[in-house]
Amino acid sequence: MDPRFVDDFVLAATTPEDSVAAPALLAARIAYPRLEPEYWLAELDALGETARQHVEIGVGGQPSRRTRLRIVSEFFFGQLGFVGNREHYEDPRNSFLNDVIDRRTGIPITLAVVFIEVARRAGLVVEGVNFPGHFLMRCPPDPGEHPDETSLIVDPFHGGALLSDADCTRLLRTHVGAEALIDPSMLQTAGKRTILLRMLLNLKRAYVRVRSFRMARDVSELVVALDPSALTELRDRGLLASHLQEYGSAIRDLETWLRLSGGYGQEPAHEEVKEVWDHVKSLRRRLASLN
């Protein structure tokens, strides 16, 4: 992968502005090298402007937050027809923002990103929520609202449905386990970096499932660049390189993982370290046989 592309992505992902769209569209160049983010940002501008007009026409005076959310949701999920891709959930295209905008379908996190961008352009603040197993959105109270007002929790995968506390608990238990309980931190706003990392990890898993290891490795490059402390991703990048028979790169990543994990040059302390250490020794033998 071109290091300049990685640098451009990290720069876009770490700017102070909250918008996820620009770096997410840059990441889509993994599959679409000629993609121009400006074209799709203009598409979002156009959708957002239409949504703003719907809000202005639909209400007079100072519409409530709930009313504005309802109008934007009806426009986005109803008129535009954005919908969760239930039949082909694992399709990598569900993780590319350009495809989601074009095809009007995606997974929770990418639908949320597009909705948030459209809502923001329509004058409505909506934020991402890094909920376990199923990305959500929250529409926080407007400045000046009664202090007892709470955020509205929205499910982007199911037509913008508003979720109660009980709904959130049921959703959590579907993904985590029957005894799981909601922690308030689960419903807090997710920052740009958090959202981008989750999008990339979804994409990497989708590529691995279809055994597209080169594409998965390219995604791992972006993940490790954005979060150098992610040791699991460093290990996975090494394993993906070994699948591609790029033994030198694989050994470097896996040896670094072993060193940072405290397992390099020592008797393996647990099974994962042992497996990686055995794999490194096997890769060394293969590399030596090629020389």
Domain extents for the chain? 3-187, 229-290
Identify the helix (H) or strand (E) that includes residue 153. strand 152-155
Least confident of 39-43, 85-89, 125-129, 287-291: 287-291
Tally of CB atoms within 10 A around 90: 14
With a pLDDT cut of 90, the percent of the chain lying above it is: 81
Identify the pLDDT of residue 291. Answer: 67
86 burial (CB, 10 Å; 0-12 / 13-18 / 19+) is exposed
**Could you give the CA distance from residue 66 to residue 89 in angstroms, rounded to a whole number?**
30
Identify the pLDDT of residue 147. Answer: 66
What value does the mean pLDDT take over residues 233-255?
A: 95
Residue 235's contacts (CB-CB under 8 Å, 6 or more residues apart) are 253, 254, 257, 276
Regarding beta strands 152-155 and 105-106, do their DSSP bridges make them parallel or antiparallel, or are they unpaired? unpaired
Identify the pLDDT of residue 173. Answer: 94
Q: How far is CA 61 from CA 53, 54, 100, 123, in A?
A: 14, 14, 34, 14
- Ramachandran region, residue 136 (left: φ > 0; alpha: ψ -120 to 50; beta: rest): beta
Least confident of 137-151, 192-206, 249-263: 137-151
Higher pLDDT, 51 or 2: 51
pLDDT mean across residues, the chain: 93
Whether the predicted pLDDT of 42 surpasses 90: yes
Identify the pLDDT of residue 261. Answer: 83
What value does the mean pLDDT take over residues 54-77?
A: 88
Residue 281's contacts (CB-CB under 8 Å, 6 or more residues apart) are none
**If you average pLDDT over each of 55-64, 114-123, 269-278, which comes out highest?**
114-123
Identify the pLDDT of residue 272. Answer: 85
Whether the predicted pLDDT of 122 surpasses 80: yes
Provide the edge-to-edge strand list for the sheet that holds 127-129.
Answer: 127-129, 136-139, 152-155, 161-163
Whether the predicted pLDDT of 20 surpasses 80: yes
Whether the predicted pLDDT of 93 surpasses 90: yes
Whether the predicted pLDDT of 264 surpasses 90: no
**pLDDT tens, 207-234?**
999 999 999 999 999 999 999 999 999 9
Whether the predicted pLDDT of 265 surpasses 70: no
Whether the predicted pLDDT of 270 surpasses 80: no
Identify the pLDDT of residue 269. Answer: 56
DSSP, collapsed to helix, strand or coil, labels residue 162 as strand
Q: How confident is the model at residue 44 (pLDDT cuts 50, 70, 90)?
A: very high
Q: How confident is the model at residue 266 (pLDDT cuts 50, 70, 90)?
A: low
